[in-house]
């Protein structure tokens, strides 16, 4: 949730918060220029949906046993990665933009990366994982949509947060897609789908990466 910086006797201006973004190749939103900001956030939401669709291509044709199988005890099944992707997405949404409850609190500890791999063996059903992922995606769209439309208390500040957050979520999705793909192809013997078609994507160290907007 946004916090006011009360150093120097008052809230830090949005311009001061936004200044370092030029070093990252991110544009600075202006309170009165909402059209471009809304377009960029909607474009990032489309990239988020594209990443999730690619994930679905990696696992939805697998059997439940293949989704929950893991190569060895100290490793993670495809199903764990699927839950982890959604867990991280909602954790970031609810901690950085909105204080809302987890859609499935019982999964939070299991799907956190701090949980040792040897304790990631007992997974929920594929139906529950799919429902969890779908609900999280709906909450991401709802919250980012509110920010893009200016229906929040600090729209300019939260736009900066949302831009970085969505970029991180997309790249985190693709990071785990790489590992899902390795289990799918190398261990389960299934062909990989083609890379998603987007001029904003490239590969870095073998991973699909969403480039920062310039």
Please report the pLDDT score of residue 212 as a whole number.
Answer: 75
Local confidence band at 61 (pLDDT 50, 70, 90 cut-offs):
very high
Provide the sign of the torsion angle of the four alpha carbons 210, 132, 138, 62, taken in this order: positive
Task: Output the DSSP codes for 5-70.
Answer: --GGGSPPPHHHHHGGGGGGTPPPP-TT-HHHHHHHHHHHHHHHHHHHHHHHHHHTTS-HHHHH--
Own/partner long-range contacts of 121-129 (Cβ < 8 Å, ≥24 apart): 121/70, 121/73, 121/77, 123/67, 123/68, 123/77, 123/79, 123/80, 123/83, 124/79, 124/83, 125/64, 126/64, 126/67, 126/68, 126/79, 128/104, 129/67, 129/79, 129/82, 129/83
pLDDT tens track for 80-135: 999 999 999 999 999 999 889 999 999 999 999 999 999 998 999 999 999 999 99
- Rounded distance, CA 187 to CA 68, Å? 13
Per-residue buried b or exposed e for 44-73, using 16+ beta carbons within 10 Å of the residue's own CB: bbebbebbbebbeebbeebeeebbbebeee
Please report the pLDDT score of residue 204 as a whole number.
Answer: 96
Domain residue spans of the chain:
32-210
pLDDT tens track for 132-190: 999 999 999 999 999 999 999 999 999 999 999 999 999 999 999 999 999 999 999 99
Query: Is the per-residue pLDDT at 8 higher than 60?
Result: no
Local confidence band at 11 (pLDDT 50, 70, 90 cut-offs):
very low
Residue bearing the bigger pLDDT, 16 or 158: 158
Q: Nearest-CA neighbor of 174 among 92, 77, 108, 85?
A: 85
Please report the pLDDT score of residue 160 as a whole number.
Answer: 94
Burial of 132 (0-12, 13-18, 19+ CB in 10 A): buried
Local confidence band at 213 (pLDDT 50, 70, 90 cut-offs):
low
Query: Is the per-residue pLDDT at 12 higher than 60?
Result: no
Local confidence band at 4 (pLDDT 50, 70, 90 cut-offs):
very low
pTM value surpassing 0.85: no
Local confidence band at 32 (pLDDT 50, 70, 90 cut-offs):
very low
Please report the pLDDT score of residue 5 as a whole number.
Answer: 35
**CATH for 32-210, among 1.20.120.450, 3.30.70.1230, 1.10.10.10, 3.40.50.300?**
1.20.120.450
């Amino acid at each position: 949730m946004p916090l006011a910086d009360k150093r120097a006797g008052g809230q830090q201006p949005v311009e001061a918060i936004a200044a370092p973004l030029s070093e990252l190749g991110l544009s600075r939103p202006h309170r009165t220029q909402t059209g471009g900001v809304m377009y960029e956030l909607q474009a990032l939401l489309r990239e988020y949906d594209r990443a999730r669709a690619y994930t679905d291509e990696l696992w939805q044709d697998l059997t439940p046993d293949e989704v929950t199988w893991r190569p060895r005890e100290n490793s993670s099944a495809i199903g764990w990665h699927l839950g982890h992707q959604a867990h991280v997405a909602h954790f970031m949404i609810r901690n950085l933009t909105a204080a809302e409850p987890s859609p499935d609190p019982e999964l939070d500890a299991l799907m956190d990366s701090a949980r040792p791999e040897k304790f990631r063996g007992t997974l929920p059903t594929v139906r529950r994982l799919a429902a969890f992922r779908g609900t999280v995606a709906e909450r991401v769209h709802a919250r980012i949509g509110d920010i893009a439309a200016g229906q929040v208390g600090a729209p300019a500040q939260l736009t900066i947060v949302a831009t970085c957050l969505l970029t991180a979520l997309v790249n985190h999705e693709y990071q785990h897609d790489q590992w899902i793909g390795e289990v799918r192809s190398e261990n389960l013997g299934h062909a990989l789908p083609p890379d998603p078609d987007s001029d904003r994507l490239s590969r870095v160290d073998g991973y699909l990466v969403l480039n920062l907007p310039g």
